[in-house]
Amino acid sequence: MQAFLRSLRWCLAGLACVLAPAWASTVCVVSSSKVAAFQEASDVLTQELARNGLARQEVQVVLGLESAEGGACLQDARIVVSLGTDALRQVLARSPHPAVIAGLIPRSGYDQVLTEVGKKTAANVTALYLDQPLSRQLDLLRLALPKGRRVGVVWGPESVSLQGALSAALQQRGMDLVEGSVNDGSPLIHALHAALQDSDVLLAMADGAVYNSATVSNILLTSYRARTPVVAFSPAYVKAGALMAVHTTPGQAGLQLAGMAAHFLQAGALGASQYPGNFTVSTNDYVARSLGLSLDAKTLTERLYKLEKRP
């Protein structure tokens, strides 16, 4: 009899395993692609949630929502974390959808997606922006280039919404804005020359119409010839020839996204969209030396953190 009961228990357990979907999850992480940044962010996010008590099998990572696994992951989850703009679009295209945290997406891209889907569909969504707050970028400028007063910017359709905020932030710091724009259909080179006119530094704003794989080399070369340092938003641009950038690593983003997801699971409510809390400064030593500058990335990072902790 005991042997029969043991066999019955094993059969029932096996049946439950067969019937239960392998992808049932509490947190569904939807990635836009297999690039290393998305992979690192999802790995750190998963590890941090596990460290805080969420079982590993309750976090499911999928590549897009086209597969049966992706669809089921979205359906079963209490909360979804999207990584990248494409993933957010896919998630919000499904109705109804659970609470959503958008990660690894610039603020301009996030706002654009919400505008596309409409107010009703965008309800119960928040974001961790990929880009840095303007105050942090300008504080880095003042630390690294204390004599810089005229800041050049090339605006595109995605970034122009920040024009008023940047102008006000510069004015508060006694700095001037020098602008060029591609919004009116003018060629990028004309907008770049306008922004470089008597500028002490070119501040790159995340905007795919301005900064992309086809344009970045020419922008950096033109700025270098004008002996105008470029402060970028990505370490890849620093390697390509920008002077420096303040940015958040995928791992740092993963940690913050895990905290936002954990808060929702505990409190049942999403917080407001937020900028990254942690960041890193990268510098290009060759470009710095060629411009007669001496910069230390670690020191700049530490000083920037101290500025933000000051009341």
Burial class (CB in 10 A: 0-12, 13-18, 19+), 214: exposed
Q: What is the rounded CA–CA span in Å between residue 78 and residue 54?
A: 13
Ordered domains of the chain (ranges, CATH): 22-129+249-276 (3.40.50.2300), 134-247+279-309 (3.40.50.2300)
* pLDDT in 10s for each residue of the chain, 311 residues: 444 334 434 333 343 333 334 445 799 999 999 999 999 999 999 999 999 899 988 999 999 988 888 888 988 899 999 999 999 999 999 877 789 999 999 998 899 899 998 877 778 999 999 999 999 999 999 999 999 999 999 999 889 989 999 999 999 999 999 999 997 667 899 999 999 999 999 999 999 899 999 999 999 999 999 999 999 999 999 999 999 999 999 999 999 999 999 999 999 999 999 999 999 999 999 999 999 999 999 999 999 999 998 64
Q: Among all chains, which residue has been given the structure tokens 């998630």? A: 91
Q: Among all chains, which residue has been given the structure tokens 């009703």? A: 120
Find out whether 241 and 282 touch, Cβ atoms under 8 Å. Answer: no
251-267 pLDDT, tens digit per residue, is: 999 999 999 999 999 99
For residue 176, list its beta bridge partners: 150
